[in-house]
Amino acid sequence: MLKVKEVEKSYKKGGFLSKERQQIIRNVSFECGRGECLGIIGESGSGKSTLGRLLLGIEKPDHGNVLLEGKSILRRTERLGRISAVFQDYTSSINPFFTVEEAIMEPLTAQKQSQQEQRSKVDLLLDQVGLNPSYKGKYAHELSGGEAQRVCIARAISTAPKCMVLDEAISSLDVSVQVQVLGTLKELKELYKMSYIFITHDIQAAAYICDRIIIFRDGQIEETVPVQQLKHVRSDYAKKLLDSLITL
Ligand SMILES: Nc1ncnc2c1ncn2[C@@H]1O[C@H](COP(=O)(O)OP(=O)(O)OP(=O)(O)O)[C@@H](O)[C@H]1O
């Protein structure tokens, strides 16, 4: 389904004139199956969000490629509506001048669906993320964090994508809201038969929703483990990282 092949990414280091580059992603390869939820856990600065942007085709790798059902994600026509994202910062993810309805319809407009088709979908999408139709006319500043993130999720699933990248998607929410949103995400994954790439610091959330987990270290895959085997990771680094995250 989603195939990541020998991906590398570096950024310019230092000032404007500097030629030095900092290697962020180093020869990363993995696959995420249809309907699978693959977690990516790693320390801050290990390159998780950079990897997320490469998977979404927002950034181009220096080397290697990302294929969605065999086609390069860098081709706009291949990624449009077929891979989507929910980020941590839900407040800046929604255009403040858009109503909830307009925000949810945004990707459908990009797909050139008719206004009528789009409107009829919005009620259904709101229902699927646990919001009633009265939310349609509200603006982002009138929503709680949990409601705003639900709107972002509704927008992300509006095109029925094959794959969704969730980058710390529940991290800014209150714990009780996190649990509810995780439940919704789990239901939606079954309903839409989507694959998830679940980037997080939250080992409990990952254990709840993921099928397999990649332990990411310094831009590389340290270890990949089925979620049932999480207690039995092999590398010392993975053991230490998981211990530190569990005690947090
Ligand atoms: N556009 C960019 N230009 C230059 N450096 C960048 C850019 N994006 C990320 N970096 C650097 O890449 C490294 C990895 O950042 P990234 O945000 O991918 O890590 P992360 O694992 O997601 O961290 P966190 O968990 O704190 O969000 C950092 O050192 C960051 O400063």
200 lines ligand 1 (CB under 6 A): no
Ligand 1 binding pocket mutation candidate from 10, 11, 41 (most atoms within 8 A of CB)? 11
Rounded Cα distance, 150 and 185, in Å: 9
Ligand 1 binding pocket mutation candidate from 8, 16, 24, 220 (most atoms within 8 A of CB)? 24
Number of domains observed in the structure of the chain: 1
Residue 11 C-alpha to ligand 1 middle, in angstroms? 9
Q: Domain for residue 14, yes or no?
A: yes
42 lines ligand 1 (CB under 6 A): yes
Q: Domain for residue 95, yes or no?
A: no
Flag whether the ipTM exceeds 0.85: yes
Q: Domain for residue 220, yes or no?
A: yes
Q: Domain for residue 66, yes or no?
A: yes
Domain that holds residue 247: 1-82+195-248
Q: Domain for residue 151, yes or no?
A: no
Collapse the DSSP code of 29 into the 3-class scheme (helix H, G, I; strand E, B; otherwise coil) and give the result: strand
77 lines ligand 1 (CB under 6 A): no
Output the pTM of the full model: 0.93
Task: Give 27's contacts (C-beta < 8 A, 6+ positions apart).
Answer: 6, 7, 8, 64, 220
Query: Is 147 within 8 Å of 131 (Cβ atoms)?
Result: yes
Q: Domain for residue 144, yes or no?
A: no
Q: Domain for residue 166, yes or no?
A: no
CATH number at residue 57: 3.40.50.300
Query: What Rg do the C-alpha atoms of the chain give, in angstroms?
Result: 18
Q: Domain for residue 190, yes or no?
A: no
Rounded Cα distance, 193 and 216, in Å: 26
Per-position pLDDT tens, the chain of length 248 = 999 999 999 998 877 777 888 999 999 999 999 999 999 999 999 999 999 999 999 999 999 999 999 999 999 888 888 999 999 988 888 999 999 999 999 888 777 777 777 778 899 999 999 999 999 999 999 999 999 999 999 999 999 999 999 999 999 889 889 999 999 999 999 999 999 999 998 889 999 999 999 999 999 999 999 999 998 999 999 888 888 887 55
Rounded Cα distance, 210 and 24, in Å: 24
Phi and psi torsions of 213, nearest 5°: -130, 130
